[in-house]
Amino acid sequence: MDHDWLLKMLSLRIDDRAFLNLICKWLKAGILDTHGTVLHPETGTPQGGIVSPVLANLYLHYALGFELFWFIDREGIPRVKRRTARKRLQGAIRRVKEWIKSHRHLPGMEFIKGLNRRLVGHYNYYGLRGNSADLWRFYRTAVVCAFKWLNRRGGKRKSFTGCGLRIMCLTVALSPKLVDLLPELCPSSGGLRQCA
């Protein structure tokens, strides 16, 4: 974990310079090794420090592109869920729209294969339990955008109908799949544990 990058991320949300300086000092605190020498790390957080888990979670939040939130399930058990960070989702949607627009000239199946590669890549990274709404939003946006730009090829305005869009959704464009195999987390006394 790069200290400069972590401090830059924290400064986006925290405006208190004194607090940021305190975190900087905490990160630069020396570590006593088994031989009695003090090491001053340039990366990572001090292990065993009270702020270490908080900083690690903040770093992972920004590095991996997920937001964590509490959710009460149907049985009334609070669970921690993950979803795509808003900026990451907006960026992914913007990139897939740009790809569709710039590659609409490709022959039919070549275009669909390229679109499906992008869809599957997104599903493989963001296909976590609790994130299906964002996966479906990404999918629907990609399909509607493909419909729009495929209709603009060669000046044939009505070349692709609403019926064609439904067929494309059902048969050609790959729908979202969850790939997360990790168990849900729920609170217990003493932190988080795997729920049965």
Question: Which of 81, 96, 178 has the alpha carbon at shortest distance from 138?
Answer: 96
Domain containing 145 equals: 86-172
**Mean pLDDT confidence for 157-173:** 66
Q: What is the pLDDT of residue 178?
A: 76
**Mean pLDDT confidence for 165-179:** 73
> Do 46 and 91 lie in a common domain?
no
> Do 41 and 101 lie in a common domain?
no
Q: What is the pLDDT of residue 190?
A: 41
CB atoms within 10 A of CB 178: 14
> Do 94 and 144 lie in a common domain?
yes
Q: Would you say residue 44 has pLDDT above 80?
A: no
Task: Answer whether residue 94 is part of any domain.
Answer: yes
Q: What mean pLDDT, rounded, does the chain reach? A: 78
> What Cα–Cα distance (Å) separates residue 161 from each residue in 34, 69, 158, 169?
71, 40, 7, 12
Task: Answer whether residue 168 is part of any domain.
Answer: yes
> Do 161 and 116 lie in a common domain?
yes
Task: Answer whether residue 156 is part of any domain.
Answer: yes
Task: Answer whether residue 134 is part of any domain.
Answer: yes
Specify the number of domains making up the chain. 2
Q: Would you say residue 181 has pLDDT above 80?
A: no
Distance in angstroms between the alpha carbons of the first and the last residue of the chain? 33
> Do 43 and 91 lie in a common domain?
no
Q: Would you say residue 47 has pLDDT above 80?
A: no
> Do 108 and 42 lie in a common domain?
no
**Mean pLDDT confidence for 86-108:** 92
Q: HSE (CB half, 13 Å, CA atoms) of 51?
A: 16
Question: Which of 130, 126, 125, 10 has the alpha carbon at shortest distance from 73?
Answer: 130
Q: Would you say residue 187 has pLDDT above 90?
A: no
Which range of 23-27, 98-102, 103-107, 190-194 scores highest in mean pLDDT? It is 98-102
Q: Would you say residue 186 has pLDDT above 90?
A: no
Q: What is the pLDDT of residue 158?
A: 56
Q: What is the pLDDT of residue 161?
A: 67
CB atoms within 10 A of CB 66: 20
Q: What is the pLDDT of residue 118?
A: 93
Task: Answer whether residue 195 is part of any domain.
Answer: no
Q: Would you say residue 194 has pLDDT above 90?
A: no
Q: What is the pLDDT of residue 42?
A: 74
Q: What is the pLDDT of residue 67?
A: 83
Name which residue leads in pLDDT, 177 or 77. 77
> Do 21 and 93 lie in a common domain?
no
Q: Would you say residue 98 has pLDDT above 50?
A: yes
